[in-house]
Amino acid sequence: MKAVVHFRKLLVAAVNGPAVGIGVTMLPHCDLVVCAQKATFWTPFGRLAIVPELCSSVTFPELMGYSKATEMLVLGQKLSAKEALQAKLVSRIYPSEGFLEQVESSLVQSLLSLPFGQQSALHYKQTMLAARLPRMEAALATEFVELDKRLRSGAPQAALRALGAPGGTQSRL
């Protein structure tokens, strides 16, 4: 988690299906996030009796507003690609058919075609990191402590048993 928060190069995410938990909470740390039409975004922390991680307690409210962040992080609302775009979690939706080829031909090629802009892009990233690192490090520390408390309480294990995960019954996740 610290490596993602401190990553100094441009970070691009291309979501081509279900993104769950940390697969969603890492997205606000990416510089560019695109998805396929079939992509979904789900953070079932409340159902698992754990707390949000990877600074999502800070990044989600900043990105999408407190109410939408609460729907996702506390209530576990699953977002479609269109809803993720409206919530500012992604910047663009591509058709699902040929998704990776489309991302590579448009987005990646645009990034690689910046002969002098690459240094500017890295400077931009470093400037953005400097502004947000203190908040992110504080959020990580708080979230780690709370997650540890939840794990030691046994609540996540009980939640998984209630959902039928380890016992052989069908999971309701």
Q: What is the Cα–Cα distance from 162 to 173, expressed in whole angstroms? A: 11
Query: In the predicted model, what is the mean pLDDT of the chain?
Result: 88
Sequence-separated (6 or more) residues with CB below 8 Å from residue 57: 51, 73, 139, 142, 143
* Complete domains list, the chain, with CATH: 2-94+116-163 (3.90.226.10)
Cβ(29)–Cβ(55) below 8 Å = yes
Q: Starting from the edge strand earliest in sequence, which strands make up the sheet with 32-36, in order?
A: 12-15, 32-36, 92-94
Averaged pLDDT for residues 123-135: 85
Cβ(83)–Cβ(55) below 8 Å = no
Say if residue 167's pLDDT is above 50.
no
* pLDDT tens-digit series, residues 48-58: 888 889 999 99
Cβ(162)–Cβ(155) below 8 Å = no
User: Which pLDDT value is given to residue 70?
Assistant: 95
User: Which pLDDT value is given to residue 168?
Assistant: 40
DSSP structural state of residue 53: -
Q: Which structure tokens are listed for 61?
A: 């409210």
* pLDDT tens-digit series, residues 9-42: 888 899 999 999 999 999 999 989 999 999 999 9
User: Which pLDDT value is given to residue 107?
Assistant: 77
Averaged pLDDT for residues 142-152: 91
User: Which pLDDT value is given to residue 165?
Assistant: 58
Sequence-separated (6 or more) residues with CB below 8 Å from residue 89: 24, 27, 28, 33, 41, 63, 64, 79
* pLDDT tens-digit series, residues 56-107: 999 999 999 999 999 999 999 999 999 999 999 999 999 999 999 999 888 7
Q: Which of 92, 79, 96 is nearest to 24 (CA)?
A: 79
